[in-house]
Amino acid sequence: MGLRQTADLAKLVAQPQPATKTTNIAAKTEVRQWRGIRIRFISEFIPISVYSSLALSEVRHHVHHTTPFINLCQPRIYGVVLCVGAGFEYNPTSLTHTELTMLNRFYITLTTLLLVSLSTYADITEDVTHGYADNNGVKIHYVTVGEGPLVLMIHGFPDFWYTWRHQMQALKKDFQVVAIDQRGYNKSGQPQGVENYAMPHLVGDVAAVLKHLGADKATIVGHDWGGVVAWQFAFALPQMTERLIILNLPHPVGLARELASNPEQQKNSSYAQKFREGSPKDPDIMFGGPMNTQTLSGWVRDPQARKHYIQAFENSDFDGMLNFYKANYPAPVDANSPSSPPPPPPPPKLNMPVLVFHGLQDTALHSDGLNNTWDWIDADLTIVTTPEAAHFVQQDAAELVTSTMQWWLKARLKP
């Protein structure tokens, strides 16, 4: 079997075929033909309430004359069990030794592909343990998974802990990964009043979770507003910040520079000024539309994930979301005006390793803000940009972000 024939076989498997439902367990079976080889594929979604060995035996029955046979099950898909099977049915005497060898190799490849495909369906919500920390009467909800050195993740706007699902799934093998809901979001406390969302409270929320977990320090990870909090946490509590990972949020000095002098960044930030001055009830507050669960979750591409987001936003306080901007986002500054306030003093240089990701398609935060980051950090700094990803780089470029986090963190573990 030559390369061309192998490619033909691969194309056959990739071609969409009409599926027919079988009886009893609503499995889908597809049969395809190639050079006398019948290839059967089966898949089914079984409600967990009826998932049993009997169901698996019925699945096997649908491909009972196939050799060899693949049967994989993933029991963590939104309340159902996904079972996928594939088998080859052929007369060995009709194939040459080379063709049998190539068929066996294809079988191994198919097994690998099925395993990879099933892993993408795994839902981290089934693996995590939920908990609450207390920061002066405000409950901070978190989820935790895995064991090892502590990695604490902080989401931005509009988001919740689930934004880190891809990274949590991979890092849990070597680390204890904790992801929080910031105050105002999902299951965390939602205090009233702009003053309750000032930066000291947000930094205190992270410290409260670490204290609750009995940890002296952790790798702090933040995206967007979570990135703002992560930077400020590292400035205020460097002794608790073992390493720092920031996603699509330039160093505060770089961001302030761009806000003061870069017309493109000023234009990009107009939405933030609208959030500072407006109300969730304004009909055009959310980029020209109303603020509701649909508009807040509109950026989420995965339809299954979006269901989680809609539910989380139903539990959230929209006023609290905007209070992050009202309490902390700088007002527009005219650098040429004599009445402009002096710039704040620069933050201290950081002495822990820092990893920065930035999706270059971000329309809110300009990548020019990354320039000179190395001047403000007295430790190793790694900057990773990706031209295809936008603001939510942890989801837009999940594989790149996850694999980079893994090697970066492992390379800095103390023996």
Same domain, 207 and 97: no
Q: Residue range 355-370: average pLDDT?
A: 97
Q: Are residues 82 and 224 in the same domain?
A: no
Q: Are 85 and 155 within one domain?
A: no
Residue whose structure tokens are 């196939």:
66
Greater confidence (239 vs 119) lies with: 239
The answer on pLDDT for 18 being more than 70 is: no
Domain boundary (121, 151, 170) is at 121
In this structure, of 97-111, 186-200, 342-356, 386-400, the range with the lowest mean pLDDT score is 97-111
Domain range for 207 is: 124-337+346-411
Beta bridge partners of 154: 180, 222
Give the Cα separation of 70 and 114 in Å (integer).
Answer: 9
Q: Are residues 253 and 305 in the same domain?
A: yes
Average pLDDT score over residue span 238-244: 98
Instruction: Tell whether 76 and 149 lie within a shared domain.
Output: no
Percent of the chain at pLDDT exceeding 90: 65
Please tell me whether residues 281 and 378 are part of one structural domain. yes
- HEC assignment per residue over 250-287: CCHHHHHHHHHHCHHHHHHCHHHHHHHHCCCCCCCCEC
313-362 pLDDT, tens per residue? 999 999 999 999 999 998 876 656 666 677 778 899 999 999 999 999 99
Together in a domain, 14 and 72: yes
What would the DSSP string read from start to end of 6-53? HHHHHHHHHS----EEPSSS--EEEEEEETTEEEEEEEEEEEGGG--H
CATH code for position 276? 3.40.50.1820
Q: Give the end of a domain, one of 121, 155, 185.
A: 121
Last residue of a domain, one of 121, 143, 176: 121
The model's pLDDT over 81-110, given as tens digits with 9 standing for 90+, comes to 344 444 544 455 555 667 666 666 665 665
134-158 mean pLDDT: 98
Residue 190 has pLDDT above 80, yes or no: yes
Asked if 114 and 140 sit in the same domain, the reply is no
Number of domains present in the structure of the chain: 2
Element (H, E) at 5: helix 3-14
Q: Which has the closest alpha carbon to 352: 221, 223, 210?
A: 221
| Residues 330 and 277 reside in one and the same domain | yes
Instruction: For residues 308 and 143, give the distance between their C-alpha atoms in angstroms, rounded to a whole number.
Output: 15
Assigned token pair, 370: 């990354």
- Average pLDDT of every residue of the chain: 81
Same domain, 88 and 133: no
pLDDT range class, residue 148, cuts 50, 70, 90: very high
Q: Which residue has the higher pLDDT, 78 or 385?
A: 385
Q: Are residues 113 and 76 in the same domain?
A: yes
Q: Which position has the higher pLDDT, 257 or 47?
A: 257
- Model confidence over 20-44: pLDDT tens digits? 333 343 445 555 555 455 554 444 4
> What's the pLDDT at 43?
47
Task: Tokens for 295, please give them.
Answer: 């508009």
103 & 132 share domain = no
CB 243 within 8 A of CB 377: no
